[in-house]
Structure 1
Amino acid sequence: MTKHKIYTMPVANVYPHYINKAERKGRTKSEVDEIIHWLTGYSQEEMESLLKNKTDFETFFAEAPVLNPLRKAIKGVICGVRVEDIEEPTMQEIRYLDKLVDELAKGKSMDKILRK
């Protein structure tokens, strides 16, 4: 079975879309970065290196320093699918990130987004 196209796509190709989505709604790049750090455990320097090196999504999540255990509290629908029902682990991690960026763009507070 072939992998989904998103697995081999560089995170750097999608990252600007996350930023644009947030900024169109009055949010900031630093908030998007904070979400990514919270979800994956990457430092800003590590993340910038991964973006520069065109790291794909599969590697990005497979090598994440610490996937936040609170990410399992992320619920809801993204792309017509409930994130908590996605069975493929890598796809679920990608959709968690998508859902968090959506929540940011919808105006949720960072405390709620980061499940504090």
Structure 2
Amino acid sequence: MTEHRIFATGFAKVYPLYIRKAEAKGRTPQEVDQIIRWLTGYDQAGLERQIAQASDFRTFFDQAPAMSAEAHLIKGVVCGVRVEDIDNPLMQKIRYLDKLVDELAKGKAMDKILRRPIAG
């Protein structure tokens, strides 16, 4: 079976699209970076290094320090597919990121995007 072409797509090619989508809705590049760091465990320097190295999505996620323990809480539809139902682990990680950026662009609060419990 042939792998999906997104796996070999450069993260650095898609990253500006995430930024553009967020900025078009009044959000910031820093918020996009915060989401990526939360999901993957990269620090800012590590994220910038991945972008500079033009890593593909497979490498980007393979080298991620630690996927968020709360990533399984990301639910919803991206590209017509429920992210929680995706069988391929790499595709699921990519779609998790897509979903988080979508939520940011739709104006969702950062605490909800990062799946943080509401302090009571």
Q: Which amino acid aligns with 2:70?
A: L
Tell me how far apart the structure 2 counterparts of residues 108 and 38 of structure 1 sit (CA, whole Å). 16
Structure 2 counterparts to residues 1-116 of structure 1, below 5 A: 1-116=1-116
2: CA distance between counterparts of 1:57 and 1:85? 20
Structure 2 residue runs of 5 or longer lacking an equivalent are none
State TM-score, norm by structure 1.
Answer: 0.99
Q: Summarize deviations over 1:42-94 as a string: whole Å, max 9, x none.
A: 01111111101110101111111010010100000000000000000000000
Report the alpha carbon displacement of residue 7 of structure 1 after superposing the two structures with TM: 0.3
Residue segments in structure 1 that go unaligned for 5+ positions in a row: none
Scaled by the length of structure 2, the TM-score of the pair is: 0.95
Amino acid at match of 1:64: A
Note the C-alpha offset of 1:2.
1.7
> What is the percentage of aligned positions where both structures have the same residue?
62
Q: How many residues align?
A: 116
CA–CA distance in structure 1, aligned partners of residues 101 and 15 of structure 2: 10
- Between 1:41-50 and 1:28-37, the stretch displaced more is 41-50
